[in-house]
Structure 1
Amino acid sequence: MDSYDVVIVGAGFAGLTAARELSLRGRSVAVLEARDRIGGRTWTDERLGRRLEMGGTWVHWLQPHTWSEITRYEQHIEPSPSSTTVLWIADGRAHRGSPEEFDALIERSMDRLAADSRTWFERPYEPLRRPDLDQIDHQSVTDYFDRLELTAAEREVNIGVWAEHFNGPAVVSGLSQAMRWCAAASGNWRLLHEATSGYRLTAGTASLAAAMAADSNADIRLSTVVTGIARTDSGTTVTTANGTRLAAKRVICTLPLNVLDSIDFQPALPAAKQAASAERTASQGLKTWIRVRGEVPAFTGYAPDDHDLTFVRPEYTVDGDTILVAFGTRAHDLDPTDKAGVARALRAWRDDLEVVDVTGHNWMADEFSRETWPMQRPGQLTKYLAALQQPHGPIHFAGSDIANGWAGFIDGAVESGLRAAGQVNAALRVS
């Protein structure tokens, strides 16, 4: 049986960060990744005539841990196209206007939410600092906007915008998570929109992941599914689906919260960790790429969360055609590779576009994720975050699900990977 100082489960950005930090400190590290590639829920693949991001995409200098990695590995960024027209659906029909006109529709309520975010999360990287968070944590985004004196159109559009942010229905989207994002953007919702969808890596997320992996001395094993982690007198034993067993003094588990129950932990995980995994995250949506005929001027489309697609925007041109990126809140209602279904949803905004082809990856059906980007439901911040961050004996946890700052982003994954690596290195030094 192979023996290591540390075994890391998962080669997403949290796992790659922890592996690099520990291996460069002289620890023997093995990374066990179920997929045949690194990157987790970031995946740059050749589709529709160019390289596209199947999962996480956008980065920003406002996200400190990601920007540090971009600087470290001399990666480059480029802006997503700026739209000159916004299409939004309200009152059952499509409206067209300038970005300034759309911002005027949402700014009153977004200004209020952003201001409240600084009250409740004055220090964004200390999300549990206030002892009275339960006053807002039980509320959904829908609850919040229902309390404001908004017109029907204002309410509908604001709820749709936040459903898109959560990649899930607004009624299950936790208000505290929305406020945490606003607070991380210094209480400026316009800056938040830029930070969350304004810039992408020129060479793709795969380039950054590869650079981090190459900078590590860890033994990275792909197509290796972990089925069990058991504590022993000397540390842990990790068992894989093919029967291989590895011994480790410490383990870092970076699995998404929704698949945490796919591993047999011995002894069993504490009740709070099990309950959080059973509840699942708020995200349950989809991302699809759409190639349409001809070069289409940049526009942005928003729709309420009862539509199959809630957001659409051109991102690239290829051989005279345009590639759009679109999101919806319910993957069980629309397959991101269903050309006819995606084309039908797109017609809610534009019935003049000819869909050539579509592509995507169903992360909700993916046995190694069962979620898109991790977003909390009402009540999950105060009930579970502290418990999820706690080690379970020699087993530590990391991932964007349990980040303090930019939870739901690559930045959150890197942040939590750094934290877990520090905990493990300190524990090994003591032992």
Structure 2
Amino acid sequence: MNEQFDRPLWNEEQQPRRTRVVVVGAGFAGLTAARELENAGAEVTVLEARDRIGGRAWTDTRLGGHQLEMGATWVHWMQPFVWTEITRYAQHIHPSPDIETAYWVSEGTVHTGTEHDLDVALGTLQEKIFEGSREFFPYPHDPLSILNDPSTSAALRERFLAADTGSVLDCLRDGTYTQEQIDLADSYWSAGYQGSTATASPLMAKHWASLSDHRSALMDEQTLRYKLTAGMRGLYEALASDVSGRILLETPVVHVAHDAQSATVTCADGRIVLADAVVVTIPIGALGNVTFEPELAPEQQTLIADGSNSTGFKIWIKVAGHQSVIAGAPGKHPISLLRSEKFLDDENATILVGFGSDHTAIDFDDIASAQKAVDVWAAGLEVLGCGGHDWVADEWSGQTWATLRSGQFFHGWTAFHDTRTRLRFAGADFAKGWNGVVVDGAIESGIRTARVLLRDLSSEV
């Protein structure tokens, strides 16, 4: 039991009593919501299942004492919510290294070129995959706006709804594109969707495009280029320092009762916390750990039961020598995307980051497993060490970032925006902008949920 449980959660002597809110989860969404609520005068307690803050952002030390991101990594000034926090807390960014040699695999053949060659080849495919993004998402941070606009034509509405059927690569299978091109796109999106492209919603890729000015180069910049100099830890610890209420670690929540006036939160150790409202920031993949009373709506339960498209992984691999490479392989291979991230001149080694669609396809801590995975490119990479965190197997996340299956863009995640009781949800999985991916979505959702809750609470006074 957390020793802080020996003290009251709330200040009972305070007059008049302030609004009390429990926030479940101390990732970016939870910490942001807690700060927003406190700034408006609420009394907040944060309950976190892990023994640390940060959620799916976790700056750790691995592979010989190097600062590495186990989860969320890249940020960008065109991500409005995270850039505001970077500015607020005086954080700094630096780029991932430029790459000298590119490798991509198709039908057993390894192709090589420059990073520019790879970008050009992929750019043509992305243009096809992004088709319709301008029409479908005129306001990228309001992704369903054309459905709510009475002036939207019936034809556009029908095409928009139909665009969430099939899979993300179906548009390349009309006979126009070669297998090499399809495999190249599969490499990119197996990593991006963190799961099989065969089940991936085509609309999510188009939405990412709209958030990147419909340009594949800008999307790459936003998702794979710039990192925080002090790591994600520098940002989430700075944010946590602005939360004055208690942040109780190793305190899993198992039950939430809620109605139109209050919420009751039960912790795994039996502790019961009464509050005026509760904000739950648990990822979709771990929401099954909590029971709700009354039960969640059928659409919410279906999304939890089905899960997202996220079954993949992120791995860090140290190799011998100075290796400036980027490499892609279709999702049937353990690693779909691999690139150099850190040159260790004093060790004559390089640290690379890899992504794959199946977390069971590789052993994160086994050099032989990583060596077999990188050998597909025949690039002479000698693995010296590897490591990572299996977010899909982690009971507190059950996924990496939450990408959408076919059919889920219009069903499931939007149901968690419900405001009929004092139970509210926040997190990147429920963001309207960078939904499911990057910290920007988590911060956006934390702000949005907190402000709507405050509005609702004040209207009832």
Q: TM-score, normalised by structure 1?
A: 0.97
The CA deviation at 1:294 is: 2.3
Give distance in 2, aligned partners of 1:369 and 1:399: 12
- Residue 56 of structure 2 is matched in structure 1 by 41
Give distance in 2, aligned partners of 1:430 and 1:13: 27
Q: Which is worse superposed, 100-109 or 179-188?
A: 100-109
The CA deviation at 1:402 is: 1.0
- Residue 271 of structure 1 is matched in structure 2 by 298
- Residue 26 of structure 2 is matched in structure 1 by 11
The CA deviation at 1:232 is: 5.7
The CA deviation at 1:426 is: 1.1
Give distance in 2, aligned partners of 1:237 and 1:113: 46
- Alignment map for 1:55-134 (pairs within 5 Å): 55-131=71-147, 132=157, 133-134=160-161
Q: Secondary structure at the match of 2:429?
A: helix
Give distance in 2, aligned partners of 1:65 and 1:213: 16
Give distance in 2, aligned partners of 1:336 and 1:345: 11
Q: Secondary structure at the match of 2:184?
A: helix
The CA deviation at 1:302 is: 0.6
Please tell me whether residue 300 in structure 1 is matched to residue 326 in structure 2.
Answer: yes
Q: Which amino acid aligns with 1:406?
A: W
Give distance in 2, aligned partners of 1:125 and 1:55: 23
The CA deviation at 1:116 is: 2.2
Q: Percent identity?
A: 39
The answer to whether the 8 Å contact 2:20/2:43 transfers is yes
Summarize deviations over 1:214-241 as a string: whole Å, max 9, x none.
0122211111000011126851110001
Q: Secondary structure at the match of 2:119?
A: helix
- Residue 418 of structure 2 is matched in structure 1 by 390
Please tell me whether residue 30 in structure 1 is matched to residue 45 in structure 2.
Answer: yes
- Residue 314 of structure 1 is matched in structure 2 by 340
Summarize deviations over 1:72-106 as a string: whole Å, max 9, x none.
10000000011121111113211110122222322
The answer to whether the 8 Å contact 1:32/1:224 transfers is yes
- Residue 207 of structure 1 is matched in structure 2 by 234
The CA deviation at 1:147 is: 3.7
Give distance in 2, aligned partners of 1:21 and 1:261: 27
The CA deviation at 1:115 is: 4.2
Runs of 4+ in 1 over 6 A off after TM superposition: none
Q: Secondary structure at the match of 2:123?
A: helix
Query: Alpha carbons of 1:293 and 1:424: their partners in 2 closer, same or farther (altered >3 Å)?
Result: same
**Of 305, 308, 315, which aligns to 1:288?**
315
The answer to whether the 8 Å contact 1:18/1:418 transfers is yes
The CA deviation at 1:350 is: 3.7
Q: Secondary structure at the match of 1:364?
A: coil
**Of 360, 367, 371, which aligns to 1:343?**
371
Max Rg structure: 2
**Of 157, 168, 182, which aligns to 2:184?**
157
Query: Alpha carbons of 1:368 and 1:221: their partners in 2 closer, same or farther (altered >3 Å)?
Result: same
Q: Which amino acid aligns with 2:362?
A: L
Give distance in 2, aligned partners of 1:56 and 1:41: 6
- Residue 370 of structure 1 is matched in structure 2 by 398
The answer to whether the 8 Å contact 2:37/2:454 transfers is yes
- Residue 171 of structure 1 is matched in structure 2 by 198
The answer to whether the 8 Å contact 1:167/1:328 transfers is yes
Q: Secondary structure at the match of 1:137?
A: coil
Give distance in 2, aligned partners of 1:68 and 1:2: 31
Q: Which amino acid aligns with 2:60?
A: D
Please tell me whether residue 422 in structure 1 is matched to residue 437 in structure 2.
Answer: no
The answer to whether the 8 Å contact 1:24/1:216 transfers is no
Q: Secondary structure at the match of 2:132?
A: helix
Summarize deviations over 1:173-227 as a string: whole Å, max 9, x none.
1111111100100111111111110000010001100000101222111110000
- Alignment map for 1:219-258 (pairs within 5 Å): 219-231=246-258, 234-258=261-285
Q: Which is worse superposed, 102-111 or 277-286?
A: 102-111
- Residue 15 of structure 2 is matched in structure 1 by none
The CA deviation at 1:2 is: 4.0
Query: Aligned residues, how many?
Result: 430
The CA deviation at 1:62 is: 1.1
Q: Secondary structure at the match of 2:412?
A: helix
Q: Which amino acid aligns with 1:394?
A: R
Q: TM-score, normalised by structure 2?
A: 0.90
Query: Alpha carbons of 1:148 and 1:397: their partners in 2 closer, same or farther (altered >3 Å)?
Result: farther
Q: Which is worse superposed, 321-330 or 141-150?
A: 141-150
Summarize deviations over 1:255-310 as a string: whole Å, max 9, x none.
001111211101101111100111111111111111112222x1100111110001
Q: Which amino acid aligns with 1:248?
A: A
Please tell me whether residue 332 in structure 1 is matched to residue 356 in structure 2.
Answer: no
Q: Which is worse superposed, 120-129 or 230-239?
A: 230-239
Q: Which is worse superposed, 27-36 or 319-328?
A: 319-328
CA RMSD, Structure 1 to Structure 2 (Å): 1.5
Q: Which amino acid aligns with 2:392?
A: M
Give distance in 1, aligned partners of 2:379 and 2:211: 38
Query: Alpha carbons of 1:261 and 1:148: their partners in 2 closer, same or farther (altered >3 Å)?
Result: farther
Give distance in 1, aligned partners of 2:343 and 2:317: 11
